Structure 1
């Protein structure tokens, strides 16, 4: 009986461990929740369903992550509205995502302001430095974008996604 248990259990545990390791390697630990909720709702990880964004039961972390998901889906105004519901809007992630949404709405200077606040809170946050660098590219300030690229390199090297994405944005802008 024990050997049968081991035959089935060990491969399952190994598969679970490998899938977790792959998720972390692919950056999925930072990836927002997958479900797309209707406007005015937010994904609640605990209940595993969409709930009204006014619900006090949804923690700031879920709101912040879902706001980023909305922004990545092009739903920038909804993302900003959701970030407005945070009990503590002054976290590095929340400010970064607010900067991302405002930049994508064409309000680049405003976005830069949010990114700079985020950097003050967490200077080692590579993603905010990538987005700040991309904003500088939009403004034509490749010198400042290069500074952010060097900061990212000191944080995670030149093979991390943030470094690669900003390097590509800088390279693409110099071709035009």
Structure 2
């Protein structure tokens, strides 16, 4: 095997490996709204605790959490499928009109099957921040669930026209329109 062939083979393997790790992040929506400070593993924490990235461990829920921390923990719970915990966390936010908080009320309700309730939260989030692409994507996915394909396409175009064509928000809604499956 020549050096060039070996080099190309290694590059192909590296590219394949990186794609294998990228797919779960897309499916889970990790970092989907530009905030990489969240994360952790909500599945590791017992009831009444949240994962603290800085401490790298589960800690007791505290009234000392600020709205950004509450948002991150709620998102973490929602992506882990712990919707009741996500809703409990969201209720603790001081600013109930934060578009991020409203969006995750919507996401959690949609995942619980309360699509009509979810749509009211998405609409409020978008009214406060028309450029909140993830709220537009999740709203579009709710529209797909309701059978309003044209409404979902409108949201896809809005995301694209607001500069979001290369984002998770666009890709997730595009896939939902193509397959009927939502995130």
TM-score above 0.5, yes or no: yes
Number of aligned residue pairs: 148
Structure 2 residue ranges without an equivalent (≥5)? 1-29
1:51-101 CA-to-partner distances (Å, cap 9, x unmatched) read 332x22211111111111111111011100111111112100000011000
Runs of 4+ in 1 over 6 A off after TM superposition: none
TM-align CA RMSD: 2.1
Q: Is the 8 A contact 1:44 1:58 kept in 2?
A: no
Question: RCO (CA 8 Å, sep 6+): is it higher in 1 or 2?
Answer: 2
**2:180 match: secondary structure:** helix
Structure 1 residue ranges without an equivalent (≥5)? 1-25
**1:42 match: secondary structure:** strand
Residue in 2 that maps onto 1:133: 140
- What TM-score does the superposition give when structure 1 sets the normalisation length? 0.76
**1:156 match: secondary structure:** coil
| Alignment partner of 1:42 is 2:47 | no
**CA distance, structure 2, for counterparts of residue 76 and residue 173 of structure 1:** 22
Alignment of 1:105-120 (within 5 A): 105-120=112-127
Deviation at 1:42, TM superposition (A): 2.6
Residue in 1 that maps onto 2:81: 74
Alignment of 1:8-157 (within 5 A): 27=31, 29-31=34-36, 32-36=38-42, 37-44=45-52, 49-53=57-61, 55-157=62-164
- What TM-score does the superposition give when structure 2 sets the normalisation length? 0.73
